[in-house]
Structure 1
Amino acid sequence: MSSLSHGHSTVSRDYDVIIVGAGVLGAALGATLGRQGRRTLVLERDLRVPDRIVGELLQPGGYRALQALGLQECTEDIDAIPCYGYHIQSATKQTVAIQYPVVEPASMAEKKPRYQGRSFHHGRFVDKLRQACHHTPNVTMVEATVNKLLRCPVTQRVIGIQCYSKIATDETAQPSEQDRQYYQYYAPLTIIADGCFSKFRRECGASMPQNVSHFCGFILRDCTLPTPHHGHVLLTPSAPILMYQIGTHETRILVDIPGKLPSIGNGDMKKYLLKHIAPHLPSSVTTSFHKALETERFRVMPNSRLPGHLTQEDGVLVLGDALNMRHPLTGAGMTVALNDVLLLRSLLSPAAIPDLWDDMAMRQCKLALHTGRKSYACVLNVLAHGIYTIFAADPQDPQMKVMQLGCFNYFRLGEQWVDGPVGLLGGIYHSQWLLLGHFYSVAMYGLWLILSGRAASIDARPSFVACLLALPMNLVRCAITLWAASWLLLPAMLAEFLA
């Protein structure tokens, strides 16, 4: 039977699998392993409903994985909003709406069904996942802080964890050393899924994340988005803005801030938002935005990049944001996590590995996971890096500004050109060659803009003579832009494949 405990007196000490962290990946994996008959212990530092400003947009590829895991009910009864695609606004306030691809094979109906995602309050979704995990047979959930990995004194293999819970009833206080009660649990496999601020990442041989920028996020109340049921990406001279509805009356706005963060306490953040963000918002959003600046709490979190690595140590496996991160502008984090769970469902099944103490079989499982996840994780990681770099291009960088203009206008070419890129963005397609092809198609489109004299504006109409006279210089610009585009994409792809 499953059980949920805030204490340890009635909890067994020996399991098949221990999962550290009950976020999206930890809770989904706990439920999945429990259904397969694995005795699973899930440990979470705080089982209250989480309060985060990211992890609120589930792309179609993640929603499809959630359905395959039999956990789609976790998006029900949480006021989740269907998401059908993206609305993109350029720095000059031109707009284009792009939809996710048609589901294949499409029916013969007049209106063909399209892939769709979901947006919601992160905490509500995670809470539903935890409830599903808690009610799964063979799963035990315990509220406790894991502070140590236990190792065999001879082989140094990880054989379990040590954790503590506090005696005091004050939920807001950190337990002092004398208030802590330590407990030890043992299992042949310990899975580290303790998030982006993982305390065990370095100990397990994974790299440390590289900070790229920060998001400042808050909620807009009763906001009217230009294209309902779409994620909105607004390009500005400073950095992109992301908006999406997370409830009937709430819309999340995330403002990307490169470099040093303005202070929230002394009012600098509010001044920054008024000066650099407010002028670029659609008119339908302006009233809600200004009201939110006066009434809502600003939240800040780092945006980091971390290529995934193979976990070499026996007895432990690092997953989720503890293993692999990308810029959240593309909303790919939960999609990668849920597809990892889907892949592990077969790799860790009792039929595949009857005995989890079999280290040779587990090493093969880890290698299969590492290579198998590259098909989707590599595409989404590289895409997030590329799109963020282009959309956050410095106005003084002419090559990236051409790529930004080319990318935006490439999306305006029509469905036959957009289905590939938006399918990759949505985690629906997992082809590195498709990514490579469309990236260089965007680059070629940018080169055409240079040669046709439209690098500054797509609406420019220079004469043939002017284009001819500028041709030598524009050919040089094309070569530099193509080099910059290749330098943006190829090293990122290589880093993902060699990780």
Structure 2
Amino acid sequence: MLVDYNKPTLPDLGQQSKWLIEEVAPGLPAEMRSEFIRAAKDTSRIRSMPVAHYPATFPSIRGYVGLGDHANQRHPLTGGGMTCAFNDVLRLAKSLAVIPRLRGNDVNDMAEIEDRIQKAILQYSQKRFLHCGSINILSWALYAVFQSPPLRDACLDYFMLGGDCVDGPISLLSGMELSSLTLLFHYYRVMIFYLLNTVTCTGAYSCRDEKNPVSPKNALMRPFSW
């Protein structure tokens, strides 16, 4: 299980175990809580990994190309790394496909081929944002949203509306929709939905009755037409 520790410094394993048991475990479903606590007590099984966030730098090094996370990383929350990696491979292959051959017969011939390869790599690096830009932005935007309980609840309320409120974000996450305008559209819809729910308290998730989850109060309400 991946658990986000959003603090400046990481404590020792004993403190990590205590934090997992006392602060994380209570928020888990009852069915998995005991097993989670059992695993958290074994400090030898706790592993930590910092989240890297860096831009692509490989075009500045001749003959070197980065694919997937080696090109640039995003927050792992959305699991978009493999989607970006596969699309990187396809885009680079298309850029290299225009080169008729990759081996030369003499030094001058090889120098010309190397120049064409470098141009293909540069073209790939300049255009890869078309398929990974929205995924990268969405990963960090969702991470910021889920850090705030009110915004997180508003996001879940939005998903519970179904239809395009789910299809749109999922198409962005899966790389099926690449438009950054679509990303902005859904992002601001969630923000507006949050403001409306704050005033009207009609969110199916944020305004649910936790003591009676099947009560009419939890019925899906759609007071506003999108």
Q: TM-score range by the shorter chain?
A: 0.7 to 0.9
Amino acid at match of 1:459: C
- Is contact 1:376–1:427 with CA below 8 Å preserved after alignment? yes
Task: Specify which of 34, 37, 55 is matched with residue 287 of structure 1.
Answer: 34
| TM-aligned CA deviation for residue 453 of structure 1 | 5.7
Cα-to-partner distance string for 1:194-244 (whole Å, 9 max, x where unaligned): xxxxxxxxxxxxxxxxxxxxxxxxxxxxxxxxxxxxxxxxxxxxxxxxxxx
Where in structure 2 are the equivalents of 1:37-76 lying within 5 Å?
none
| TM-aligned CA deviation for residue 359 of structure 1 | 4.3
Local SS of the residue matching 2:60: coil
1:273 corresponds to 2:20: yes
Relative contact order higher in (CA < 8 Å, ≥ 6 apart) = 1
1:261 corresponds to 2:10: yes
Aligned equivalents of 2:65, 2:38: Cα separation in 1: 46
Local SS of the residue matching 1:256: coil
Partner of 2:138: 383
Where in structure 2 are the equivalents of 1:7-406 lying within 5 Å?
253-259=1-7, 260-264=9-13, 267-295=14-42, 297-309=45-57, 311-349=59-97, 351-352=98-99, 354-355=101-102, 357=111, 358-393=113-148, 401-406=149-154
Partner of 1:409: 157
Amino acid at match of 1:429: E
Sequence identity (%): 33
| TM-aligned CA deviation for residue 304 of structure 1 | 1.7
Aligned equivalents of 1:344, 1:458: Cα separation in 2: 44
TM-score in terms of structure 1 length: 0.37
Q: 1:441 to 1:272 in 2, by over 3 A?
A: same
Aligned equivalents of 1:272, 1:288: Cα separation in 2: 16
| TM-aligned CA deviation for residue 454 of structure 1 | 6.7
Q: CA RMSD in A?
A: 2.4
Where in structure 2 are the equivalents of 1:470-489 lying within 5 Å?
none
1:428 corresponds to 2:176: yes
Amino acid at match of 2:137: V
Aligned equivalents of 1:408, 1:323: Cα separation in 2: 32
Q: 1:440 to 1:310 in 2, by over 3 A?
A: farther
TM-score in terms of structure 2 length: 0.77
Partner of 2:221: none
Aligned equivalents of 2:100, 2:197: Cα separation in 1: 55
Local SS of the residue matching 2:52: strand
Partner of 1:189: none
Amino acid at match of 1:374: F
Local SS of the residue matching 2:207: coil
Q: 1:434 to 1:370 in 2, by over 3 A?
A: same
Cα-to-partner distance string for 1:99-144 (whole Å, 9 max, x where unaligned): xxxxxxxxxxxxxxxxxxxxxxxxxxxxxxxxxxxxxxxxxxxxxx
| TM-aligned CA deviation for residue 364 of structure 1 | 2.8
Gapped regions of structure 2 (runs ≥ 5) = 103-109, 209-226
Partner of 2:193: 445
| TM-aligned CA deviation for residue 452 of structure 1 | 2.8
| TM-aligned CA deviation for residue 389 of structure 1 | 0.9
- Is contact 2:68–2:86 with CA below 8 Å preserved after alignment? no
Partner of 2:213: none
| TM-aligned CA deviation for residue 353 of structure 1 | 5.1
Amino acid at match of 2:10: L
Aligned equivalents of 1:277, 1:340: Cα separation in 2: 36
Aligned equivalents of 1:378, 1:450: Cα separation in 2: 31
Aligned equivalents of 1:360, 1:450: Cα separation in 2: 58
Amino acid at match of 1:321: D
Aligned equivalents of 1:383, 1:459: Cα separation in 2: 26
Higher relative strand content:
1
- Is contact 1:310–1:367 with CA below 8 Å preserved after alignment? no
Aligned equivalents of 1:305, 1:363: Cα separation in 2: 25
Q: 1:385 to 1:353 in 2, by over 3 A?
A: farther
